[in-house]
Every structure is written in C-alpha cells, then in structure tokens.
Chain A
Amino acid sequence: MAIASSRRIRHWRAALTYVNLAPFVFFALFPFYFMFVTSFKRNAELYNLKSIPFWIQSGIITDHYAFLFQRTEFLIWMKNSLVISVIAMSVSLVIAVLAGYSLARLRYRGVGSFGTAVFITYLVPPTLLFLPLSQVINWLGLSDSIWALVVTYPTFLVPFSTWLLMGYFRTVPREVEECALVDGASRLQTLTRIVLPMAVPGIVCAALFAFTLCWNEFIYALTFVSQSANKTAVVGVTADLIRGDIYYWGSLMAGAVLASVPIVVIYVWFLDYYVSGLTAGAVKG
C-alpha cells in the first residue's frame, strides 16, 4: 500500500516535471520548426493572413531551395565556410595543444601570467576588435578574401581551445609522463605519444567547438569580406538574400535551414561532447 502510493507520487512528480519542461522545449524548438515549415510553403500561402501559419495546407514545394541553388551562390558560400572552418580549426588546435600543455604542465617563470593573458583574451569579445582588425587585414593585403577570416578566427579559437585543453591535460596523471621521461623519451615524444592519446576526448571537444564557432561567426565575416563569392554561408544568407525592401521569406528560411544543417548533423552526432565541453569551458574557467 505504502509502496503503491510512493510510486504514484513519483509518477506525479515526473509528470509535473514534464509539464514544467514543456514550455522551455517549445520555446527552444518552435523557431526552428517554423523556419522549416516556412521554407516549404507556397508564397500564396505564406502571404495569406487567413491561412494557419503552423503547418502547410496547400502542398509542399521545394522552389525556395531550388532558388538558392540556381539563382544565388549558396554552394560557394557553403564551400567557403567549410574551407575557412577546417583550416582555422586545424591551425588553432595545433597552437592550442602546444600552449595548453605548456600552461597546464610545465613549470617556468611567467607561466602564471601567460595563463592569465590567455584567460583575458578568451574573454575579449570580437566586437571590441573588429575595427582595428579590419585595418590589419587591409595592410596584410587580405581584405575581401576568405584568408582574412582564416587569419582572424584563431584569435578567439586559440584562447578558447587552450583554456578547454588545459583542463583535460591536468587530468592526465603526472606519473605517466614522468615514467616516459625516465625511460628516455624526449619531452616532445612524451607529449605526442603519451599525453595526447589520453587527452583525445578533450581534443575532439575543442575541435567541435572550434568548428562550430567558425561556422557561426558573423561580425568578422560581415566586416572583412564584401564580394559575394567570398562570403561565408551565414553572411551570404543573411546579407545577400535580402534585396532592397522585398524579403523573399521562403528562400531566406530555406537558406537559414540549409546553412545550419552541417552544425545540426555534428551536434546530433556529438551531443555529449557539446554538453561536457560547455560545462568544462565555463566551470573550469
């Protein structure tokens, strides 16, 4: 009898939790659902105040997507985003692995202040530096090319990844390293053969975040590149699909959906890494 009633209380509590969570989940997901639905609607239905906006009544069409591929440089934008993200991510990761290991594990004068410096640059918002950086890009002769972004993205990727990786390097037991050194391995070998394999989850995590940050970046990509053929997917969709005062909502939503697909795929695949990386980055900081 007591067991039955306590079970009933548990069920009630669970039900109450779901009821409380429902508005949050709805709030989080509805915009995506609505963008998705909009991208498949006929214009006639889209701009009809009498039709119900939540679903598609007069048939699914793919015209808005076709428009993206036939009339805009969408595929080039996607390719640019991919190239920029992969290069910037790889370069930043190499730099961050070296710096993170140095800061987390080695003892030398100034290591503490270097750590603080990396931490402060980690907090510098890109919106603080975009004006002078646009001039630096100019002087380097990189303005209006995808290389402007490849060069500038590491400025926020390296501090972030270094900070994230430091936490992971600290979890590798010191004794393992010391054994390798005593056995005659060089310091570099100890790093690449002993420490790195043990920090693989951290590196995967840093890579995922670095890629996501690159793909999603907006202000540098908007500022440093003006030619349509050199734009990233995010800027191409937000800036080039809007002409004058006429908004092509269907194709705008189609572009937003399609340009988010790579991130969604990675996210679904590596969800747990995102959750652990997010908490590691902030909590350990």
Chain B
Amino acid sequence: MAISQRALEVTRLDPGPSRLERVRQWWEQEHVFGYGLILPALVLLTCLVAYPFAMAIYFSLSDYWVGSPGPFIGLANFREILRNDVFRQTVQNSFVFTGIALTLKTVLGVWLAVLLARDIRFKRLLRGAVLLPWVIPTALSTLGWWWMFDSLYSVVNWTAIRLGIMSAPGPNWLGQSHYAMAAVIVVNIWRGLPFFAITVLAGLMSIPREFYEAAEVDGATSRQRFWHVTLPLLKPVLAVVVLFSTIFTFSDFNIVQVLTRGGPVNTTHLFATLAYQIGLQGGNLGQGAAISLFLFSMLALVVFLQLRYIRKD
C-alpha cells in the first residue's frame, strides 16, 4: 500500500519527457529536420513546376482553348503542328538561331575571357563594363536595339553608309528575313557573351600557374600554350556553360518578342514566341502547350548530358 502510493507519487512527479520535449527530440533527429527544411521548397516546386508541367502535357493532348476546356484528342495537336509550315519554319529558325549564336558566344567568350584574364590595369572596371548587358533587363535593352535597327533611322546603317560599307538606304534589318535573323542573333550574342566570358574567366583563374610555367620551360609558344594547356583544362567549365546556354538560347523569348515578334513572315519565330502567339493570343492552349513541349526535349537532352557526364566528374 505504502509502496504503491510512493510509486504513484513518483510517476506523477516524473511522467517521463513531456509532450513538448518529445516533439523537440523528434524534430532534432537529422532526417526529420532535413525533410522539414526541404518541405517548403518541395511543396512550391510540386505545385508550381511539376503540376503545371503535367498540365502542359494534358493540354497538349486535348482540344483545350482559353476559357473552354475541351475533350481528349490524343496526338492530334502534335500531328497538326508538325504539318504546319509555320511550325516547321520555327524548328529551322530555332536551330539556326541557337547554332550560330552559341558558336559565336563560345568563341568570342573564350577570347574575351583570355583578354580579361591578363594582368592589366582597370581590370575591375573592364569586367564590370563587359558584364553590363547581362544585368540590364533584356526586354528594355532590346528596345534600344530595336531603335538601332529602325527601318528609317538605323544608326547602324547611318554609320555604314557614311563609312562607305553600305549603299544608301541600307538593309531594312527587321523587315527582311535574313537580316532579321542576323539582328536577333546579334542581340542574343550581345546579351549572352558576358555570361560566357565571366564564367570562362573564372575557369581560367583556377588553372594553376605552374602549368604555364612548365609549358614555357618546354618552349611552347603562347598559341601552343592556349591549345594544349588552357583549352583542355577549360573543357569542364566550357561544357557546363555551353549546355546551360543551349537551354536558354533555345528557349529565348524576350529578344524575338520585342524585336520582331517572329516576323517578317515567321522567319524569326522561336518555339517560345510561337507558343505565345498560338496559345495565348490565339487562345489555342492545346497547340500552344504542344509547341512549348518541344522545348522540353532539348531540356531533357541537356539534363541527361549534365547528369551523365558532368556532375560525375
């Protein structure tokens, strides 16, 4: 009797860890804490990236218009856009645009990075100046390019005519198909070059000086040093930058939308601008989604290459 009374008292005085304490201990476990911290990000990305992506697939398989959900129609949207001349033109444009812009950005970017890596004065100022096009809102700076390519008052033509390179009045940059494509590519290079240059520059800085000294001792010329020391060691950084830029050049919207809206006669349309025109302005969400899903194939390819070859190193 006395003992059980005592036992009761003890249990009342020490009822084990309180509920709060137990929650605290549970929360302090590494895996619980880990899941807890990543939860908000996962919820956000599931609701606003994964779910819309699934919807894009659903749209693309149905006759879905703005404001009026339609029935499931299988691959009819894809069949229809593949038969469409404008879409075929867009596929061609996208590859021309991405191929030329990417090549030039890579070559010029490496060259610019090599120049910026040299030990010169005003280094910081020069880097700051060169990076500026990448920082300023693209849509706004493209307005400036639009004015520079104006059909009547183009400063490019004005200068070229005065220098005797062009005969007056010069090309109508945004009104003739090849010139329009050239203009769009120039602006894309202008905007993307800093990204290449600065990233490659960081790659250059990480190459140990001893490599160059050794090459110099062996009597390598500066050109040989570039081809046999710099470039091979730069390959990993370059691969990341090129793959990264492939996605964002391929899916570009801002420059084309502001400069040409896909014109003249669809010769500068890219997947994104065509999807915008058909899906939103035309209201055909099904076909628009089908077009934008072609961007996904490029994304999938790049992600595959990234995960397979680059992140392993």
Q: How many residues of B contact A (CB 8 A)?
A: 97
B160 at the interface (CB under 8 A from A): no
* A285 closest partner in B (C-beta): B240
Task: Let me know if B38 and A102 touch, CB within 8 A.
Answer: yes
A264 at the interface (CB under 8 A from B): yes
Task: Let me know if A106 and B30 touch, CB within 8 A.
Answer: yes
Size category of the binding interface on chain A: 35 or more
B271 at the interface (CB under 8 A from A): yes
Contact with A along B239-276 (1 / 0, CB 8 A): 01100100110011110011000000000000110011
* Contact among B38, B148, B158 for A99, CB-based, below 8 A: B38
Q: Name the residue among A94, A102, A119, A252 with the largest chain B CB count within 10 angstroms.
A: A102
Q: Name the residue among A107, A109, A222 with the largest chain B CB count within 10 angstroms.
A: A222
Task: Let me know if B292 and A128 touch, CB within 8 A.
Answer: yes
B95 at the interface (CB under 8 A from A): no
B280 at the interface (CB under 8 A from A): yes
B214 at the interface (CB under 8 A from A): no
Q: Could you say which residues of chain A place their CB within 8 Å of the CB of B115?
A: 17, 20-21, 24
Task: Let me know if A124 and B31 touch, CB within 8 A.
Answer: no
Q: Is the interface of A mostly helix, strand, loop or mixed?
A: helix
* A280 closest partner in B (C-beta): B202
Stretch at the interface among B13-21, B72-80, B116-124, B172-180: B116-124
Task: Let me know if B253 and A219 touch, CB within 8 A.
Answer: yes
* Contact among B33, B141, B202 for A32, CB-based, below 8 A: B141
Q: Could you say which residues of chain A place their CB within 8 Å of the CB of B38?
A: 98-99, 102-103, 114
Task: Let me know if B44 and A158 touch, CB within 8 A.
Answer: yes
Task: Let me know if B48 and A187 touch, CB within 8 A.
Answer: no
Q: How far is the CB of B87 from chain A (nearest CB, A)?
A: 16
Task: Let me know if A98 and B41 touch, CB within 8 A.
Answer: yes
Task: Let me know if B144 and A35 touch, CB within 8 A.
Answer: yes
A1 at the interface (CB under 8 A from B): no
Contact with A along B1-36 (1 / 0, CB 8 A): 000000000000000000000001001101101111
A28 to B199, CA, bound (A): 17
Task: Let me know if A237 and B153 touch, CB within 8 A.
Answer: no
A121 at the interface (CB under 8 A from B): yes
Q: Could you say which residues of chain B place their CB within 8 Å of the CB of A155?
A: 44-45, 48-49
* A48 closest partner in B (C-beta): B153
A49 to B199, CA, bound (A): 41
Contacts A17-B115, A121-B49, A124-B299 known; A27 to B139 CB distance under 8 Å? Answer: no
- Residues from 179 to 200 in B contacting A, C-beta threshold 8 Å: 190, 193-195, 198-199
A246 at the interface (CB under 8 A from B): no
Contacts A120-B303, A131-B280 known; A158 to B155 CB distance under 8 Å? Answer: no
Q: How far is the CB of B70 from chain A (nearest CB, A)?
A: 13
- Residues from 44 to 74 in B contacting A, C-beta threshold 8 Å: 44-45, 48-49, 51-53, 55-56, 59
Task: Let me know if B147 and A132 touch, CB within 8 A.
Answer: no
Task: Let me know if B195 and A278 touch, CB within 8 A.
Answer: yes
Q: How far is the CB of B198 from chain A (nearest CB, A)?
A: 5
16 additional contacts (CB under 8 A) given A20-B115, A131-B285: A32-B144, A34-B147, A34-B155, A99-B41, A127-B251, A131-B279, A132-B56, A133-B48, A154-B48, A219-B257, A249-B150, A253-B143, A260-B136, A264-B136, A278-B131, A279-B198
27 residue pairs from A and B, CB less than 8 Å apart:
A18-B120, A20-B115, A25-B126, A31-B141, A31-B144, A38-B147, A53-B153, A95-B41, A98-B38, A106-B34, A107-B30, A121-B49, A124-B49, A130-B275, A130-B292, A132-B52, A154-B44, A154-B48, A216-B139, A218-B254, A238-B143, A249-B147, A278-B131, A278-B199, A279-B198, A282-B240, A282-B244
The residues of A with any CB-CB pair to B shorter than 8 Å are 13-14, 17-18, 20-21, 24-25, 27-29, 31-32, 34-35, 38, 46-47, 49, 53-54, 94-96, 98-99, 101-103, 106-109, 111, 114, 116-121, 123-136, 151-152, 154-155, 158-159, 162, 186-188, 212, 215-216, 218-219, 222-223, 234-235, 237-238, 249, 252-253, 255-256, 259-260, 263-264, 267-268, 271-272, 274-275, 278-279, 282-283, 285
Give me the 9 closest cross-chain CB pairs, A-B, nearest first. Answer: A108-B31, A279-B202, A127-B272, A106-B34, A99-B41, A125-B251, A102-B37, A132-B55, A132-B52
The residues of B with any CB-CB pair to A shorter than 8 Å are 24, 27-28, 30-31, 33-38, 40-42, 44-45, 48-49, 51-53, 55-56, 59, 108, 112, 115-116, 118, 120-121, 124, 126-141, 143-145, 147-148, 150, 152-153, 155, 158, 190, 193-195, 198-199, 201-203, 237, 240-241, 244, 247-248, 251-254, 257-258, 271-272, 275-276, 279-280, 285, 288-289, 292-293, 295-296, 299, 302-303, 306-307
